[in-house]
Amino acid sequence: MRHIISILVENEAGALSRIAGLFSARGYNIESLTVAPTEDASMSRMTIVTSGSDDVVEQITKQLNKLIDVVKVVDLSEAEHIERELMLIKVRAGQKERDEMKRMADIFRGRIIDVSDNTYTIELTGDGRKLDAFIRALDHGTIIETVRTGTSGIGRGNRILRV
Amino acid sequence: MDRVKTSALSGAEIVVRCLQEEAVEYVFGYPGGAVLFIYDELFKQDKVKHVLVRHEQGAVHAADGYSRSSQKVGVALVTSGPGVTNAVTGIATAYMDSIPLVVLTGQVPTAAIGLDAFQECDTVGITRPIVKHNMLVKDVKELAVAIKKAFHIASTGRPGPVVVDIPKDVTAAVCEFDYPETVAMRSYNPVKKGHAGQIRKAVQLLSEAERPMIYTGGGVILSDSSALLRELVRFTGFPCTNTLMGLGAYPGTDKQFLGMLGMHGTYQANMAMQHCDVLLAIGARFDDRVIGNPAHFAQNPRKIIHIDIDPSSISKRVKVDVPIVGNIPDVLDDLLKLLGAGRVPDVSAWWKQIDEWRAKDCLRYDRSAKIIKPQFVLEKLYEVTKGDAFITSDVGQHQMWAAQFYKFDKPRRWINSGGLGTMGFGLPAAMGVQLANPGATVACVTGESSIMMCLQELSTCKQYRLPLKVVNLNNRYMGMVRQWQQFFHGNRYSESYMDALPDFVKLAEGYGHRGVLVEKPADVEPALRDAFARKNELVFLDFITDQTENVYPMIPGGKGITEMILSEEL
């Protein structure tokens, strides 16, 4: 089962390697990992997408909580939540592909953020499946480069993760 | 918050002042370039005593033994690079057994970090998976708080080693010394009280049990809950077993004690674990050497109550019905109050069954042998020391025999590397034990292979006049490896035999100690009596023991807890 784990962690040097190290040392999967400071500069928020049985995910959250730098851990996927990922994708956009590429970007509510004679760079946000769908919808030969941030998530409504 | 403030001090002075504030009695260490300023400050004072080991692994094991036998935090000090890498085995040993240590490591100057400087290594990176926490202090202003945090983290919650990495320039830099009395961390607040509802559920299960079993581990010793455990076991009349790490928490000589459980546990303890209907686990973690194959263990249904300070130890290998996260003494206190108000079930039928298992006398061995049986040495050691010694051990057959045959009636008397299984632990650990307990009888039970892994510490013993007794069970084999090869590898003793062993008597004498060779069963007891009568001398007793003796019972790796191999004698 896929789980999205949100972590508030002290903004200390090495905090990221503690968490990444825990996953590799105990053989847990990391599908994606994103991290950046929060509005409180002393803390970072991390979103890890992982997969495993309920027992494994329970161990993951317990082991994360055990790390001294970790302030709070929540399994977002346990309840209503929103997830988003950002992708930047550079595609071939010569004379003959240009119009079709623009149309595809519009359909997926992407934005073209860089243009050259023969390329477009498209910015696309959504959950991971939407980004996958966009990639599938393109003619594979037109894709030059992709970069994805990995999933970020937040609880819906009154579900809040803060200190 | 009360604060100890003084005028500006150097980082090195701050380190030493922090140790003084923490009332640290001994620092076990070895100097080197990156810690020279700290050593200079140690030289200028006499509150904190330094014990100079011969190898950094010995420093950490000694600090570990000091802590295990005293309940205090052990402190080690090593230099950067090889000082740290040598200390790694000691740190990992302490981590696996949850021993509170503060390990201060020198680091190259901050400006040189990352440049492959002389004696540089990524200490925080290397030790990260084997510490409770670690930190690199890059600013002298953060040094005192870092050390305070290190002591706080090491000794609270589930204890463990904490590494503080201090670059050389930080020890030279100057700032005002401001040692906090307490430290608050929003990300670290270990629980104390257990959940009242869960404790009620546990009491309910215990009061309805027909075949109850109490199984306790190192957590009871680390949390100093032995007295409460004894009260609980006596009040309920239930049987009790201890893990290798938990021996001494419940008196080894008591009738309600079934002996150690696990891979080399007693027949009765393992059978009772499998066939009980309510299992109360306290400060133990159901590890592979204890319950064997978890699928086999799950074949017999039973309700499991698990008390532990560390939630991640609960339902890790075995699914638990009533988890109680909390500090063991707090939880046991609450549990006892509730139990006292209720009824205690009649478990006489269960005891009848247990006594039948016990009648197998699974630790029996050939007492008429013409060669020295290792078990016999341990029995005599127990007699001669009247069961009141601190026993450290190395790792292997001798460790298991010591655990089986020395009946520990008190906690913190049995000092061994249970989790990591570190050969070489016994001798340096015994040094720490002796320093923590001056005047006490301390013996290191070892084998000829283990002892050679930290043999150099015999020199430290001489320097500090530590009158340890080394009980070397010399069977000329790595006995436990040989035993596995006999059972599971067709008697092919691949590299488990050591040719060209040293003359241990001469070796001991070379280090300035007394060495004694014992080759006949009749000489065992007199040799022990003579050695333990020498209160001011380290005596190295080299017992030439049966080469083919095996440790029984034995649960083969991956097998179920009741699938024991018993001695041919049975």
User: Rounded mean pLDDT of B228-235?
Assistant: 98
Beta strand segments in B37-119, E: 49-52, 74-78, 101-107
Size of interface A-B (CB pairs under 8 A): 38
Is residue B1's pLDDT more than 70?
no
Q: What is the pLDDT of residues B298-321, one digit of tens each?
A: 999 999 999 999 999 999 999 999
Residues ≥6 apart with Cβ < 8 Å to A25? B129
Nearest CB to A59 within list B185, B316, B319: B316
User: B73: which DSSP letter?
Assistant: P
Q: What is the structure's pLDDT at B533?
A: 98
User: Rounded mean pLDDT of B219-230?
Assistant: 98
CA distance B259 to B268: 8
Q: What is the pLDDT of residues A90-115, one digit of tens each?
A: 999 999 999 999 999 999 999 999 99
Catalytic residue among B168, B303, B380, B469: B168
Model confidence band, residue B443 (pLDDT cutoffs 50, 70, 90): very high
User: Rounded mean pLDDT of B542-558?
Assistant: 96
Is residue B279's pLDDT more than 90?
yes
Is residue A49's pLDDT more than 80?
yes
Q: Which residue of B has its CA nearest to A60?
A: B312
Give me the phi and psi of B162, to 5 degrees please: -125, 130
Mean pLDDT, chain B, whole residue set: 96
Mean pLDDT, chain A, whole residue set: 95
User: Rounded mean pLDDT of B370-376?
Assistant: 97
Is residue B114's pLDDT more than 80?
yes
CA distance B56 to B460: 12
Most B-contacting residue of A66, A71, A161 (CB-CB within 10 A), to test interface: A66
Judging contacts by C-beta atoms under 8 Å, the chain A residues touching residue B315 are: 55, 58
Nearest-Cα distance to chain A for B148, in Å, is 14
Which residue(s) pair with A135 in the sheet?
A: none
Which value does ipTM take for this structure? 0.93
Q: Any catalytic annotation for residue B480?
A: yes
Q: What is the structure's pLDDT at B465?
A: 98
Q: Any catalytic annotation for residue B107?
A: no
Nearest-Cα distance to chain A for B286, in Å, is 15
Q: What is the structure's pLDDT at B499?
A: 82
Residue type, B149: K
Nearest-Cα distance to chain B for A92, in Å, is 41
Catalytic residue among B47, B118, B181, B210: B118
Q: What is the structure's pLDDT at B6?
A: 67
Query: Cβ–Cβ of B187/A10 closer than 8 Å?
Result: yes
Q: What is the structure's pLDDT at B7?
A: 77
Q: What is the structure's pLDDT at B569?
A: 60
Query: Cβ–Cβ of B312/A14 closer than 8 Å?
Result: no
Nearest-Cα distance to chain A for B376, in Å, is 42
Judging contacts by C-beta atoms under 8 Å, the chain A residues touching residue B124 are: 14
CA distance B317 to B79: 38
pTM score of the predicted model:
0.96
Contact A131, A109 (CB under 8 A): no
Nearest CB to A62 within list B153, B186, B311: B311
User: Rounded mean pLDDT of B27-35?
Assistant: 98
Does any CB of chain B come closer than 8 Å to the CB of residue A95? no
Q: Any catalytic annotation for residue B56?
A: yes
Q: What is the pLDDT of residues B119-165, one digit of tens each?
A: 999 999 999 999 999 999 999 999 999 999 999 999 999 999 999 99
Is residue B570's pLDDT more than 70?
no
CA distance A57 to A151: 18
Rounded percentage of chain B residues whose pLDDT exceeds 90: 96
- Sign, CA torsion B483/B487/B491/B494: negative
Q: What is the structure's pLDDT at A29?
A: 94
Q: What is the structure's pLDDT at B2?
A: 47
Residues ≥6 apart with Cβ < 8 Å to B270? B261, B262, B553, B555, B561, B562, B564
CA distance B307 to B329: 10
Assign B355 to helix, strand or coil: helix
Query: Cβ–Cβ of A18/B128 closer than 8 Å?
Result: yes
Q: What is the pLDDT of residues A109-137, one digit of tens each?
A: 999 999 999 999 999 999 999 999 999 99
Contact B59, B427 (CB under 8 A): no
CA distance B343 to B393: 42
Query: Cβ–Cβ of B316/A18 closer than 8 Å?
Result: no
If interface means Cβ-Cβ distance under 8 Å, which residues of chain B face chain A? Answer: 124-125, 128-129, 132-133, 135-136, 153, 185-188, 310-312, 315-316, 319
Judging contacts by C-beta atoms under 8 Å, the chain B residues touching residue A58 are: 315
Q: What is the pLDDT of residues B40-76, one digit of tens each?
A: 999 999 999 999 999 999 999 999 999 999 999 999 9
Peptide bond into B428 cis (omega under 30): no
Judging contacts by C-beta atoms under 8 Å, the chain A residues touching residue B133 are: 68
Q: What is the pLDDT of residues B169-215, one digit of tens each?
A: 999 999 999 999 999 999 999 999 999 999 999 999 999 999 999 99
Query: Cβ–Cβ of B128/A66 closer than 8 Å?
Result: no
